[in-house]
């Protein structure tokens, strides 16, 4: 299957609309009880957020990437912008809202498993409305990556993209308003298992995948952490196992990076099976380092890993 947009010229491989966050991440020997202290063995500060980390992955892999998002005009906002620029992500549509604060997260990483617990605050930068967005600029790409952060604007963008024939990789985390419009309008919803079960009300992942596909997407992917992912199409189901890496230092952002790589694979015209394996490799390699972005590989590292 070729990308819907194959042959069309565009300024960017992937444009991403959604959450841009500043993350503090620490590794802890075990999760503490209330009123207890534990010492961290490592501390890192880096950019985060679903769309933000996804688009950083596109740029790290060599893709032409742009972010459409909101930050505050605070110190965290400046770090968010600088980290995008360091990866080569175009930030001309990253809006700093005067007097507002940026989204921030503290992530505690369990040393033994690499699993993360996240505490976050939205900040006061607010959400985009559809009229805030430049439709022509957003669609000037081979694939759009959209998360649920700016949910009302995101639903409008998904509609514009469908009319223009631009594929949309959709990342949703927890059920909220507009989810049904987003899932039915996007060509490629890629969601974690817990979202798929909650959104559809189904008891198992296969039924949830089929129920989401029935809403209108071309492909639905359900990710299951270390168990890999399942892709649902009209032709059937494909299982892609997670690819082994050792040691697993931190799984924070594995899903975000999977989404970015999957969107870039669509922009490159990868066939579905090839793209699932590619995105799984990029997400697995990400888990080698602390934080959502530090471990994102280059294309040369992915090719070497997949050999
Ligand atoms: N421990 C792991 N080892 C190898 N690959 C992993 C591991 N955890 C996740 N992955 C890869 O990342 C993909 C997405 O992971 P997951 O389902 O945990 O996403 P998520 O819940 O959206 O995560 P996040 O929101 O933290 O980014 C998986 O399908 C798998 O390919
Ligand atoms: Mg996720």
pLDDT in tens, 90-140: 999 999 999 999 999 999 999 988 888 999 999 999 999 999 999 999 999
CB 133 within 8 A of CB 157: yes
Give the H or E element holding residue 138: helix 135-138
- Confidence tier at 3 by pLDDT (50, 70, 90): very low
Contacts of residue 163, defined as CB under 8 A and 6 or more positions apart, other chains included, come to none
**169-186 burial: b if 16+ Cβ within 10 Å, else e:** bbbbbeeeebbebbbbbb
Write phi, then psi, for 200 (nearest 5 degrees).
-90, -20
- pTM here is 0.96
Ligand 1 atom closest to the Cα of residue 251 is: 8
CB 252 within 8 A of CB 116: yes
- Confidence tier at 7 by pLDDT (50, 70, 90): low
pLDDT in tens, 229-241: 999 999 999 999 9
Cα–Cα distance measured from residue 3 to residue 225, given in angstroms and rounded to the nearest whole number: 26
Ligand 1 atom closest to the Cα of residue 244 is: 4
Question: In terms of Cα–Cα distance, which of 18, 43, 19, 39 is closest to 29?
Answer: 39
For the chain, the average pLDDT equals 96
pLDDT at 5 > cutoff 60:
no
**Is the CB of 130 within 6 Å of ligand 1?**
no
CB 274 within 8 A of CB 283: no
Residue 233, burial from CB neighbour count under 10 angstroms (0-12, 13-18, 19+) = middle
Residue 46: C-alpha distances to residues 22, 75, 92, 175 (Å): 6, 13, 20, 27
Q: Tokens 């967005």 label which residue?
A: 133
CATH number of 12-306: 3.40.1190.20
**Is the CB of 253 within 6 Å of ligand 1?**
yes
- Confidence tier at 6 by pLDDT (50, 70, 90): low
For a mutational test of ligand 1's pocket, the pick from 255, 275, 290, i.e. the residue with the most ligand atoms closer than 8 A to its C-beta, is 255
Residue 140 corresponds to which tokens in the numbers above? 């000037």
pLDDT at 29 > cutoff 80:
yes
Cα–Cα distance measured from residue 166 to residue 145, given in angstroms and rounded to the nearest whole number: 11
Q: Tokens 């590292």 label which residue?
A: 301
Mean pLDDT calculated for residue range 75-104 = 98
Q: Whose CA is nearest to atom 9 of ligand 1?
A: 225
**Is the CB of 172 within 6 Å of ligand 1?**
no
pLDDT in tens, 179-196: 999 999 999 999 999 999
Mean pLDDT calculated for residue range 162-174 = 96
Cα–Cα distance measured from residue 191 to residue 73, given in angstroms and rounded to the nearest whole number: 31
pLDDT at 1 > cutoff 70:
no
Q: 192 alpha carbon to ligand 2 midpoint, in Å?
A: 6
């Amino acid at each position: 299957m070729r990308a819907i947009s194959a042959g069309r010229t565009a300024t960017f491989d992937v444009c991403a609309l959604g959450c841009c966050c500043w993350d503090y991440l620490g590794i802890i020997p075990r999760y503490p009880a209330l009123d207890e202290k534990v010492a961290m063995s490592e501390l890192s500060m880096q950019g985060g957020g679903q769309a933000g980390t996804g688009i950083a992955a596109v740029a790290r892999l060599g893709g032409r990437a742009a972010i459409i998002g909101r930050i505050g005009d605070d110190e965290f906002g400046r770090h968010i912008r600088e980290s995008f620029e360091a990866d080569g992500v175009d930030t001309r549509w990253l809006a700093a809202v005067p007097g507002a604060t940026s989204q921030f997260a503290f992530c505690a990483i369990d040393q033994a498993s690499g699993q993360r617990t996240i505490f976050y605050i939205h900040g006061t930068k607010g959400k985009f409305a559809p009229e805030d967005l430049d439709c022509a600029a957003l669609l000037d790409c081979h694939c759009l990556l959209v998360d649920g952060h700016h949910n009302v604007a995101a639903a409008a963008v998904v509609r514009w993209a469908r009319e223009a024939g631009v594929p949309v990789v959709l990342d949703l985390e927890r059920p909220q308003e507009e989810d049904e419009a987003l899932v039915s309008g996007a060509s490629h919803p890629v969601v974690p298992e817990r979202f798929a079960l909650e959104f559809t009300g189904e008891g198992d992942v296969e039924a949830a995948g089929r129920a989401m596909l029935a809403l209108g997407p071309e492909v639905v992917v359900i990710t299951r952490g270390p168990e890999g992912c399942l892709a649902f199409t009209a032709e059937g189901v494909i299982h892609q196992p997670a690819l082994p890496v050792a040691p697993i230092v931190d799984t924070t952002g594995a899903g975000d990076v999977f989404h970015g790589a999957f969107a870039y694979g669509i922009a490159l015209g990868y066939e579905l099976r090839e793209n699932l394996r590619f995105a799984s490799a990029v997400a697995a390699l990400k888990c080698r380092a602390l934080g959502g972005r530090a471990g994102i590989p280059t294309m040369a590292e992915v090719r070497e890993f997949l050999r």
